[in-house]
Chains A and B, each alone.
Chain A
Amino acid sequence: MEKGALVVGADIGGTFTDLVAVESGRLRLHKLPSTPHDPSLALLRGLEEAGFGGARRVVHGSTVAINAILERKGACTAFLATRGFSDLLHLGRQTRPSLYDLFVEKPTPLVPRELCFGVTERVDSRGEVVVPLDEEEVDGLVMRLRGMGVETAAVCLLFSFLRPEHEERLGRKLEEQGIRAYLSCRILPEYREYERASTVAMNAYVGPVVEGYMARLIEALGPGRLEVMHSGGGTLSPEEVRESPARIVMSGPVGGVVAAGKVSRATGYSRAISLDMGGTSTDVALIDGELPLTPEMTVAGFPLRFPGVDVHSIGSGGGSVAWVDSGGALKVGPRSAGADPGPACYGKGWEPTVTDAHVVLGRLPGSALLGGRMPLDALRSEEALYRLGKKLGWGPREVAQGILMVVLSQMAGAVRTISVERGHDPSRFILVAFGGAGPMVGCELAELLGMERVLVPPCPGTFSALGMVLAERVWDRSRALMRELDGEAVEEALASFREMRAMLPPGWEGAEVSAAADLRYRGQGYELIVPVDLSWGWKDWREAFRDAHLRRFGYALENEPIEIINLRLRFTLPAALEVEDISLTQGEKDLRRNTLRTGAKKTTVSFLQRGKRWVEAECPVYDRFAIGGGKPRKGPAVILGEDATVLVPPGWSFRKDRGDNLIMEPAEGG
């Protein structure tokens, strides 16, 4: 693609669709209401409205797959397993999701029991066929499935990752009768039958919906332009998505983490914690030089075993509702007032929310939402908090202070979960705060965690969309090995890596390749993903694993056998754009059009200090785009930007760096 061509990133959320366009380095933003019944409508309309129609590349974070699962609008799918195991999806891991709830429910599997079938065949743990596939029985079953109107079939036979031939034969017979087959030996050749079955079922269930959606977009955009963000933090072409469509299920929260990693690295920090605070939830992730990946995600209660960006999500955001429990403690969330009726200050409902607490404490000056397009009713906020306060004998301001203390404590807990609990000291990371509400609380949260630098990017409200254009093209593959680590096993691993490389689709020839292995001590139930070098001998593998184990768990064992469970390859092609390719200054005029205004030069704001003490301070109000680079200025300050307000508490300084990020640090001597 020639340099300077128009590239668009599109992040589709429940309420708004955000578009970010970059052409010849110039950044432009566009936001419009989403069209939940068919998200492609808002996307296409937005491209037209903003004049982005000639885009050479449209990178898209899609909710279509996750919505198909949540709303149960996927394909009519059958599940085929080894005879005796057709209930795999219904048995799960035999656990319940909540310990003390007598009315607990488990999520209903995507395939009903009537469409789950056993097939006579069996392969053992050494890959030997113990019972051959009963072809005649399969023919009959396939005809029956056709008669039942089954569109797709998820096939998961025991030990198929060691010997795929039974699944392959089944797949051929299904396809011959017009039933699209998703085979576990191709989609996820790894051990653990339930997680594999669940992953394959999810692919089969969302497949036709995702394909139909992509086809509509391709028709409108023309061929070769669309790319889709996947859960692993990279993008794929529509053809690549088609093979394992569930890879795009969690593409939503990923964009922001990608952007946080890229922007902080361009600023000179390789360690960052991202804080994305939205209306109903807050997502945090820890970036230690590279994107944090987890081998397995949980989607609507089901395991999905594809590499995913490790995002920890908690149910508190701007719309979270505050309440008092029967023991008299103040709680916030997980219930949210959502976008409708929304916080009391939106003028519809009366629920006291986190946003209302900000309003009452002067932390959201004037009509500060959406570039002033959404007026806020401060009196309603006060009234809502007053009603809650009556139960506690407090006034609205005290209630507001209490709400923010609780929310900040919840967020600090979330950050500790991804840092301290995994052996990282948060004070060695910078906090990248974005989302509509993140920049308001970034510095106060950093204080709680002993973090000394907060970065707020130029367009915090559309940061995820920016992540789409910064994301690399990434192709992940994995395969089981299940061998004790020794010289022979490494030979076998290398042969396996070669085979996996040979299966690479066209267009990936020049890709950068990184290899990793899931390793563990014999008998452990949890593997560590350890990057490996293909030139290593087996003792290097062992050292790498011991180092990783020591770092993560604080100890390593000397003479314990180590097992190689899975092998992983990740192919990477460069992103559409690098952070350095984008000049925010060039787009400044565009951005300023939307910038918030209060008219006032000064305003009074309450700040929380060290999580304990509230202070009130009179703050100058700045226009973000009028702040020049250079010397740091002292807080307190309120900085109004395109779609978010940045609060700088007393004792902190702020400056704008060359990338137009705002950097906040504790002031010297402050």
Chain B
Amino acid sequence: MGSSIGYDAARLEVFAQALAQVAEEMGVVLGRSGRSPNIRERRDYSCALFTAQGELLAQAAHIPVHLGSLPLSMEHLLRWLGDRGREPKEGDVYIFNDPFAGGTHLPDITMAAPYFSRKGHVGFGVVRAHHADVGGRSPGSMPVGDELYQEGLIIPMSLYAERGEVREDIEALILANTRTPDERKGDLRAQMGALMVGARRYQALVEEWGEDFEAMVEALLHYGERTTREALKELEGAYEFVDFLDDDGRGQVDLNINVKLIFRDGELTADFRGTHPEVEGPLNCPPAVTFSAVYYVLRCLLPPQAPFNQGNLRCVRIILPERSLVNASRPRAVAGGNVETSQRIVDALLGALSRALPDRIPAASYGTMTNLSFGGSRPRPFAYYETVAGGCGARPGKDGLDATHNHMTNTMNTPVEALEFYYPVRVLEYSVREGSGGRGRFRGGDGVRRTLLFLEPASVSLLADRRKRGPYGLMGGEPGRPGEDFLVRGDGTRERLPSKVEIKVLSGEAIELNTPGGGGWGEAIKPSDPTGEESSG
């Protein structure tokens, strides 16, 4: 009277849900048990599951900038194991952050562990988290430097734990190279805790599905592939776009990012040839960051509940010119690749896409995370890092959102009352930067103004962009206003700051940040036009 065949579509959904939940649960464990505000409040981390062959099964990405980089990390790990003839062992935990060997930028520390069941080695768990300080020349490890070595400790692929025991020598080495060792230790242990929870849950899942497991994995990857092909099939042809970063903070200006998107037979090629060569300043991207930007845009094209696994990635080809801004070589500085260049890559990709899908693609958003970090020693040593949101691009049919993080990031702000409680600063203003959104039939979102008064001397590092060219508008919409930042002296005089700068501020001086507005969409209807009821510019 029983039957167990058929129902593939239902079983597939159940299997996908179960895997997604394991990854999600790893993220919950990390988010709740991590020490630093960056992990706990800003949720700057991701967790993923892979097959034993290194295929992405499920990912809980709380921040899109990690999307594409975990599969590359996995590839690197497998190669590293293969080159050394090493077998994955139960209880081993690998750790690394080298941007040119599976990483993104140095603060992103990745841990991975092989997972086992009665069948033997059945997969991997990977957990990446942004650590608030990994040493280097400035607090927060986001300096405006000119080589990787200034940005912090480089961790090549190493064993953080063996047979489930943390290797104290490696841990001590890492902790000795950060300004905040206690916090780092708490975060590292939380990462490992998340991996261990993943190991248990993944093992249970593999055993629950028994001999069907491999077939279900295959079905799941096909499912991801099918969903992607279906979505891409609607598009055909080649579309190009060029967007620019203002400068690298070291004198090189107008850094172009060239994109050509080619859609053919349900597949996508993203060709970045023609992009500006790598630069001296910290805007270079390792390939993982560029991949993330492409996968982010791909995911935006998929239906809301679509799966995202190795199958999706089978439909995408990415061409990166050597030694370029989007595929830099060692030992270029990369701190800002993740947070600044990645946003501009998305702008270029969406710009190209808007030519294929004019009714579905928004104008450019603020396009810079406006990274502010500062540190000092009075009344006690401190280091702090934050990003500031901006205006989002107007959409066909809708205004852009004001003062909201978009595209590659979605981190929360730090409450003013928390900031002032812990650090010797006073926030003088935190407001919507009115009128900064680009005019248009649909208005670009307004940026943010945030002014911080320093009550003690501090070293401040600002890493921002879109201070020269505003985010582009589409279909006749005007660009958003570029950002502008000032040092406000004790006597009230204002001095304009470059977009990438390291300065010392005195007690009583303030930094005023104004982030860009989003681009407008469609031609603005003149206010005097009696039919202009829809104008929102």
Residue ranges of A at the interface with B (Cβ–Cβ < 8 Å):
84-88, 90-91, 93-96, 98-106, 113, 124-125, 130, 158-159, 191-195, 324-331, 392, 394, 398, 401-403, 405-406, 409-410, 413, 416-417, 420-421, 482, 521, 523-526, 552-555, 557, 560, 609, 611-617
Of B231, B404, B410, B426, which is in contact with the most chain A CB atoms at under 10 Å from its CB?
B404
Check A525–B226 contact: CB distance below 8 A. Answer: no
Check B37–A192 contact: CB distance below 8 A. Answer: no
Q: Known contacts being A328-B9, A421-B28, A615-B2, is A95 close to B395, with CB within 8 Å?
A: no
CA distance A331 to B404 in the complex (A): 31
Check A405–B11 contact: CB distance below 8 A. Answer: yes
With CB as the reference atom, state the residue of chain A lying closest to B180.
Answer: A523
CB of B117 closer than 8 Å to a CB of A? no
Q: Can you list 5 A-B pairs, Cβ within 8 angstroms, ordered by A?
A: A94-B413, A96-B401, A101-B300, A158-B417, A613-B4
Check B223–A193 contact: CB distance below 8 A. Answer: no
Q: Known contacts being A94-B448, A192-B417, is A405 close to B7, with CB within 8 Å?
A: yes
Of A90, A101, A409, A617, which is in contact with the most chain B CB atoms at under 10 Å from its CB?
A409
Check A331–B305 contact: CB distance below 8 A. Answer: yes
Contacts of A101 in B (CB 8 A): 300, 304
CB of B174 closer than 8 Å to a CB of A? no
Contacts of A330 in B (CB 8 A): 9-10, 12-13
- Distance to closest chain A CB from B440 (angstroms): 16
With CB as the reference atom, state the residue of chain B lying closest to A162.
Answer: B417
Which residues 391-416 in B have Cβ within 8 Å of A in the complex?
395, 397-398, 401-406, 410-413, 415-416
Check B227–A523 contact: CB distance below 8 A. Answer: no
Q: Known contacts being A103-B398, A158-B416, is A614 close to B2, with CB within 8 Å?
A: yes
Of A99, A328, A413, which is in contact with the most chain B CB atoms at under 10 Å from its CB?
A99
CA distance A609 to B2 in the complex (A): 10
10 extra A-B contacts, CB within 8 A, seeds A102-B300, A416-B21, A482-B421: A94-B404, A95-B412, A100-B64, A103-B395, A106-B404, A192-B417, A327-B223, A401-B10, A523-B422, A555-B189
Check B417–A90 contact: CB distance below 8 A. Answer: no
Within 8 Å by CB of A95, from B307, B361, B405, lies B405
CA distance A612 to B212 in the complex (A): 11
CB of B508 closer than 8 Å to a CB of A? no
Q: Known contacts being A96-B406, A331-B305, is A612 close to B4, with CB within 8 Å?
A: yes
Contacts of B190 in A (CB 8 A): 553, 555
With CB as the reference atom, state the residue of chain A lying closest to B4.
Answer: A613
Check A96–B417 contact: CB distance below 8 A. Answer: no
Contacts of B451 in A (CB 8 A): 84
Of B9, B182, B388, B431, which is in contact with the most chain A CB atoms at under 10 Å from its CB?
B9
Check A525–B41 contact: CB distance below 8 A. Answer: yes
With CB as the reference atom, state the residue of chain A lying closest to B27.
Answer: A421
With CB as the reference atom, state the residue of chain A lying closest to B455.
Answer: A124
CA distance A403 to B303 in the complex (A): 20
With CB as the reference atom, state the residue of chain B lying closest to A90.
Answer: B432
CB of B17 closer than 8 Å to a CB of A? yes
Within 8 Å by CB of A325, from B21, B306, B402, lies B306
Check B10–A327 contact: CB distance below 8 A. Answer: no
Check A194–B360 contact: CB distance below 8 A. Answer: no
CA distance A93 to B223 in the complex (A): 35
CB of B40 closer than 8 Å to a CB of A? yes
Contacts of B398 in A (CB 8 A): 103, 105
Contacts of A410 in B (CB 8 A): 17
B1-43 vs A, CB cutoff 8 Å, 1 = contact: the mask equals 1111011011111101110010001001100110111001100
Check A102–B183 contact: CB distance below 8 A. Answer: no
Contacts of B37 in A (CB 8 A): 523-525
Check A93–B413 contact: CB distance below 8 A. Answer: yes
CA distance A416 to B22 in the complex (A): 10
- Distance to closest chain A CB from B281 (angstroms): 26
Contacts of A326 in B (CB 8 A): 226-227, 230-231, 303, 306
Secondary structure dominating the interface of A: loop
B interface bracket (residues with beta carbon within 8 Å of A): 35 or more
Check A99–B431 contact: CB distance below 8 A. Answer: no
Check A194–B32 contact: CB distance below 8 A. Answer: no
Within 8 Å by CB of A91, from B182, B395, B410, B430, lies B430
Check A91–B1 contact: CB distance below 8 A. Answer: no
CA distance A327 to B6 in the complex (A): 17
Check B406–A91 contact: CB distance below 8 A. Answer: no
With CB as the reference atom, state the residue of chain A lying closest to B182.
Answer: A560
With CB as the reference atom, state the residue of chain A lying closest to B296.
Answer: A100
CB of B299 closer than 8 Å to a CB of A? yes
Within 8 Å by CB of B17, from A104, A413, A526, lies A413
Contacts of B223 in A (CB 8 A): 327-329
Contacts of A90 in B (CB 8 A): 402-403, 432
CB of B420 closer than 8 Å to a CB of A? yes
CB of B224 closer than 8 Å to a CB of A? yes
Contacts of A401 in B (CB 8 A): 7, 10
Q: Known contacts being A95-B405, A523-B36, A523-B37, is A413 close to B226, with CB within 8 Å?
A: no
Contacts of A328 in B (CB 8 A): 9, 12, 223, 226
With CB as the reference atom, state the residue of chain B lying closest to A420.
Answer: B25
Q: Known contacts being A100-B64, A192-B417, is A94 close to B21, with CB within 8 Å?
A: no
CA distance A328 to B225 in the complex (A): 11
CA distance A405 to B7 in the complex (A): 9
- Distance to closest chain B CB from A164 (angstroms): 14
- Distance to closest chain A CB from B374 (angstroms): 16
CA distance A326 to B48 in the complex (A): 24
- Distance to closest chain A CB from B33 (angstroms): 4
- Distance to closest chain A CB from B22 (angstroms): 10
Within 8 Å by CB of A526, from B40, B189, B201, B427, lies B40
- Distance to closest chain B CB from A188 (angstroms): 13
With CB as the reference atom, state the residue of chain B lying closest to A86.
Answer: B431
CA distance A421 to B14 in the complex (A): 19
Q: Which 3 A-B pairs have the closest CB atoms?
A: A402-B10, A525-B41, A327-B227
CA distance A409 to B227 in the complex (A): 22
- Distance to closest chain B CB from A406 (angstroms): 5
CB of B516 closer than 8 Å to a CB of A? no
- Distance to closest chain B CB from A124 (angstroms): 7
CB of B418 closer than 8 Å to a CB of A? yes
CB of B125 closer than 8 Å to a CB of A? no
- Distance to closest chain A CB from B454 (angstroms): 14
CA distance A326 to B301 in the complex (A): 13
Which residues 294-337 in B have Cβ within 8 Å of A in the complex?
296, 299-300, 302-307
Check B32–A193 contact: CB distance below 8 A. Answer: no
Check A84–B430 contact: CB distance below 8 A. Answer: yes
- Distance to closest chain A CB from B508 (angstroms): 13
Check B1–A615 contact: CB distance below 8 A. Answer: yes
Check B416–A85 contact: CB distance below 8 A. Answer: yes
Check B417–A125 contact: CB distance below 8 A. Answer: yes
CA distance A401 to B41 in the complex (A): 41
CA distance A13 to B429 in the complex (A): 44
CB of B193 closer than 8 Å to a CB of A? yes
Check A191–B418 contact: CB distance below 8 A. Answer: yes
- Distance to closest chain A CB from B307 (angstroms): 7
- Distance to closest chain B CB from A200 (angstroms): 14
- Distance to closest chain A CB from B365 (angstroms): 10
Contacts of A560 in B (CB 8 A): 182
With CB as the reference atom, state the residue of chain A lying closest to B433.
Answer: A87
Contacts of A86 in B (CB 8 A): 431
Within 8 Å by CB of B410, from A96, A403, A613, lies A96
Contacts of A113 in B (CB 8 A): 432
Check B6–A94 contact: CB distance below 8 A. Answer: no
Check B14–A409 contact: CB distance below 8 A. Answer: yes
CA distance A617 to B14 in the complex (A): 24
CA distance A328 to B227 in the complex (A): 8
Contacts of B395 in A (CB 8 A): 102-103
Contacts of A194 in B (CB 8 A): 415
- Distance to closest chain B CB from A537 (angstroms): 25
- Distance to closest chain B CB from A7 (angstroms): 41
CA distance A158 to B420 in the complex (A): 11
Q: Known contacts being A331-B13, A523-B37, is A553 close to B32, with CB within 8 Å?
A: yes
CA distance A104 to B362 in the complex (A): 11
